[in-house]
Amino acid sequence: MMRVCLLNPFPLSFKGGVESMLSSLSSGLEKKGIETEVVSLSESEMSLIPKFARVSISTVLLKKLLDSKSRFDVIHAHAWSACILKLIRDKPSIATAHGTVRGLLALTGDMTSLSSQFYTSFVTQNLEKIGFRNAGKVAAVSSFCKDELVSGYGIPEERISVVYNGIDTEKIHRVKTGLKNEFECENLLFYVGRLAKQKGVEFLIKAMPALKDYDAKLVIAGTGPDEANLRNLVSELNLKESVIFTGAVDERRKLEFLSSSDAFVCPSLWESFGVVLLEAMACKTPIVATRAASIPEVVGDCGVLVEPRNSRELSDGIKNLLDDKKASKKLTQKAYERLIKNFTVERMADSYIKLYAKLIS
């Protein structure tokens, strides 16, 4: 039986987009007879080392991998954790790029402090570059990401395979719920994700006054560094009755919100992929999203796409869905079919198994 090390800086409990993908991939590989083990920092180690201390985290990961590498046939590193592959030459390896920090800075750098920009561009960008250049094979989660690797990091195009993220539709699907009744509104809008500048939530909040005639409420699920600013913005715009912050929600509650909502809105300025878009597709929730980074490649023509940082376009896109719910329903069916064709965990696992086999042979 093949044994694969899934290397990641943060534990799966961190629950970011990469961690969500890793959880799905591990489960998908196990179902196909591939044994997996996630090697990452533990939660206790995370409490001692700041998330931005990339070099310190890489040092801990390297020690863990050196202690355990004999157990594995393939090392599959994710994001900048791949930098340690430069020091692991005796094992077949693959690195998956979940977007690049170079691309992130290009689209959101003006909203980031100078110190953060410097650290990201000087440290994290170089760690990514080292990792992707030293991996036996490179996977990109989208064609957009592949182009970033070629143009930004000089990775030869022929070395990169595009492998889309996938979700398990047996676990993630539309559920029966009376949740919408709790909010006493005709139209329920939903956002879930980190509350950080790059997610563009401020532009979604600023779109809400234009929807005052639609009896709409916006539920914002998640936490993050920008939460206080966003709450203040809601107060300034007198939107406390129509914008509700729930904090973090568990997986079941997230499915209930997606299944109850008249639109899922993704106002991001940048996304490495956007797994939550797949979750909205699986729950047959109409989507309004920005034309940013990989998002158009994921959504295709199965949702309403608008320009990032544009509250007017966001409100118009939402209105288009709410004004014609019959057309919206057709879009959700089209999106579901797109999901099943391109973004299932089975397809993702099969693609990586083929790459592993090529490495070993």
SS3 at position 178? coil
Mean pLDDT over the full length of the chain: 94
pLDDT value at 52 more than 80: no
Distance, in Å, from the CA atom of 202 to the CA atom of 183, rounded to the nearest integer, reads 22
Residue 41 is predicted with a pLDDT of: 92
- Cα 91 from chain centroid? 28
Residue 328 is predicted with a pLDDT of: 97
Question: pLDDT per residue over 239-285, tens digit each?
Answer: 999 999 999 999 999 999 999 999 999 999 999 999 999 999 999 99
Question: pLDDT per residue over 17-33, tens digit each?
Answer: 899 999 999 999 999 99
Is residue 13 very low, low, confident or very high in pLDDT (cuts 50, 70, 90)? confident
Count, residues in the chain: 361
pLDDT value at 105 more than 90: no
> How many other C-beta atoms are found inside a 10 Å radius of the C-beta of residue 359?
18
Residues 6 or more apart in contact with residue 29 via CB below 8 angstroms: 4, 36, 349, 352, 353
Least confident of 77-81, 98-102, 281-285, 351-355: 98-102
> How many other C-beta atoms are found inside a 10 Å radius of the C-beta of residue 351?
16
- For tokens 């143009």, what's the residue? 151
Residue 55 is predicted with a pLDDT of: 86
Query: For the chain, what percent of residues have pLDDT higher than 90?
Result: 84
Q: Domain-by-domain residue ranges, the chain?
A: 3-166+344-360, 179-342
Residue type, 115: S
Mean pLDDT computed over 35-60: 88
CATH topology of domain 179-342: Rossmann fold (3.40.50)
Least confident of 100-114, 126-140, 265-279: 100-114
Residue 197 is predicted with a pLDDT of: 95
Task: Name the nearest CA neighbour of 288 among 257, 320, 330, 323.
Answer: 320
Query: For the chain, what percent of residues have pLDDT higher than 70?
Result: 99
Residues 6 or more apart in contact with residue 175 via CB below 8 angstroms: 252, 255, 256, 259, 283
Q: Please report, for residues 34, 138, 220, the alpha-carbon distance to residue 359 in angstroms, rounded to integers and kept in the order given.
A: 15, 11, 43
Residue 119 is predicted with a pLDDT of: 64
Just give the CATH number of 3-166+344-360.
Answer: 3.40.50.2000
For 205-252, give the secondary structure using H, E and C: HHHHHHHHHHCEEEEEECCCCCHHHHHHHHHHCCCCCCEEEEECCCHH
Residue 62 is predicted with a pLDDT of: 94
> How many other C-beta atoms are found inside a 10 Å radius of the C-beta of residue 336?
18
Residue 118 is predicted with a pLDDT of: 66
> How many other C-beta atoms are found inside a 10 Å radius of the C-beta of residue 214?
19
Strand partners, 192: 221
Q: Which residue has the higher pLDDT, 353 or 114?
A: 353
Q: Do domains 3-166+344-360 and 179-342 have the same CATH topology?
A: yes
